[in-house]
Amino acid sequence: MQLGYHIAKKLSFKSQHSFTKTITSLAIAAVSISICVVILAFGILLGFKKEIREKVKGYAGDVSVSRYQLATGIETNLFDINHELVQKIEQEENVSSIFPFINKAGILKSDSTLEGIILKGLPANYDFSFYQKHLIRGEVPQYTDTVDSYAILLSEYTSSILNLDTGDRVNLFFIDQSNVRRRMPVVSGIFNTGLHEFDKQFAIAHLRSVQRVVSNNYSKAAGYEVKVKRAEHTLPIKRKLQTYFDYTYAVNSVQDLYPAMFQWLDIVDTNVLVIIILMFIVAIINIITILLILIIERIPMIGILKSMGANSSKIGTIFNWQGGFILSAGLILGNGIALSFAYLQNQNKLIKLNAETYYMDAVPFYLPWDDLLFINLGALLVCFIFTYIPVRIIHRIQPAQSIRFS
């Protein structure tokens, strides 16, 4: 093993024939491009998933609990908030938060325009960081548990339709059968999440103000929004929550509520998997081809080593090490290019997207370090195993034949 390593090191890093240098450089470039494409494809896929999940989660949470109803619609049957149950669920190991909410349909009216809206009432202790992140103008309203607030958050789409800006008051009408209730909330902030299907529908309001529209007290809610600590905890928490509620309640994960978005991501998964497999095949073919060329070029050396008593396995380690050097150099170069591009993309948004189609305005990139390590180790292991295929040709080389070949 030591002899093979030292000879391979000298052949790879010391003076070489220009032909060998060229072939080795091309092999390193091919491996680096393959690894670069795999890292970018995987990172962009995870980035898409993370961005879309975070946005949908920002609107609906990871798990939603609501009452079953006979009629279809965005509004659900009301129930009394069980504060003891809320505290109990919040103490679950993988639960990040749980908040009551109410969705109430209304009509916004400006001087010349009417626009239907779903007012989502949220409590004062709700985590508004999602809306803060996507805030364009104004500020997130400061709600309290003791005073009703009539400050609302509007999407950029709705505000542009109604020609409203921060600080403006707008007529808001709630229609229940023959009863019409009017409110005049002030626009505290304007946001744009990129999820236009949601931005067109929803506005954010104080839970207390919406409760006063649907009941005579502050005890009612239309559902609970539950957020988990990690995405993989969603299904176990959903099953756990089903044990807390009876058959009159529906417990749905975010995938259950919006299946179309996650089905679209599954299709993207398949496409990326095909790309990754193709890139690995390209890298494997390249490493096999370059080793075959190096072996053919070094047939005289192989013959001399065999005539001196070296067996085929020991000689084969020379080219295994050369393949390892090429793979290592390709991995380092490919990682450097991919991570540099990913950093620039995340910082400067070099590649733009149509937000109405992709739910975001730029290509995202997200790749945890453990996934990056897995990709590199997997590529190194798989490609290194295939270096043994061309090395088998060494067993067929005889010293006498190598002399004639030279």
Nearest residue to 223 via CA among 68, 53, 54: 68
Task: Quote the CA–CA distance of 121 and 209 in Å, as a whole number.
Answer: 8
Task: Quote the CA–CA distance of 360 and 357 in Å, as a whole number.
Answer: 8
3-state per-residue secondary structure call for the chain: CHHHHHHHHHHHHCCCCHHHHHHHHHHHHHHHHHHHHHHHHHHHHHHHHHHHHHHHHHHHCCEEEEECCCCCCCCCCCEECCHHHHHHHHCCCCEEEEEEEEEEEEEEECCCCEEEEEEEEECCCCCCHHHHHCEEEECCCCCCCCCCCCEEEEEHHHHHHHCCCCCCECEEEEEECCEEEEECCEEEEEECCCCHHHHCCEEEEEHHHHHHHHCCCCCEECEEEEEECCHHHHHHHHHHHHCCCCCCEEEEEHHHHCHHHHHHHHHHHHHHHHHHHHHHHHHHHHHHHHHHHHHHHCHHHHHHHHHCCCCHHHHHHHHHHHHHHHHHHHHHHHHHHHHHHHHHHHHHCCCECCHHHHCCCECCCCCCHHHHHHHHHHHHHHHHHCCHHHHHHHHHCCHHHHHHHC
Q: Please, what are the averages of pLDDT over each run of 10 residues along the chain (406 residues)? A: 66 62 80 88 87 85 85 68 92 92 91 88 93 93 91 94 92 84 93 87 94 88 92 91 91 88 78 81 81 75 72 74 83 93 91 81 89 88 79 67 54
Predicted local distance difference test score (pLDDT) of residue 18:
60
Predicted local distance difference test score (pLDDT) of residue 342:
93
Predicted local distance difference test score (pLDDT) of residue 136:
93
**Taking a C-beta distance cutoff of 8 angstroms, is the pair 238, 257 a contact?**
no
Count CB atoms within 10 A of the CB of residue 72. 5
Predicted local distance difference test score (pLDDT) of residue 321:
79
Predicted local distance difference test score (pLDDT) of residue 379:
84
Those residues whose C-beta lies under 8 Å from the C-beta of residue 233, and which sit 6 or more positions away, are 62, 94
Predicted local distance difference test score (pLDDT) of residue 211:
92
- Work out whether strand 186-191 and strand 151-155 pair parallel, antiparallel, or are unpaired: parallel
Predicted local distance difference test score (pLDDT) of residue 234:
92
Which tokens hold the place of 189?
């902030």
Predicted local distance difference test score (pLDDT) of residue 118:
92
Predicted local distance difference test score (pLDDT) of residue 228:
93
The Cα-based distances of 121 to 40, 102, 105, 147, 405 in angstroms read 40, 5, 11, 14, 84
Predicted local distance difference test score (pLDDT) of residue 73:
54
Count CB atoms within 10 A of the CB of residue 298. 22
**Taking a C-beta distance cutoff of 8 angstroms, is the pair 399, 300 a contact?**
no
Phi, psi of 149 (to 5 degrees): -115, 135
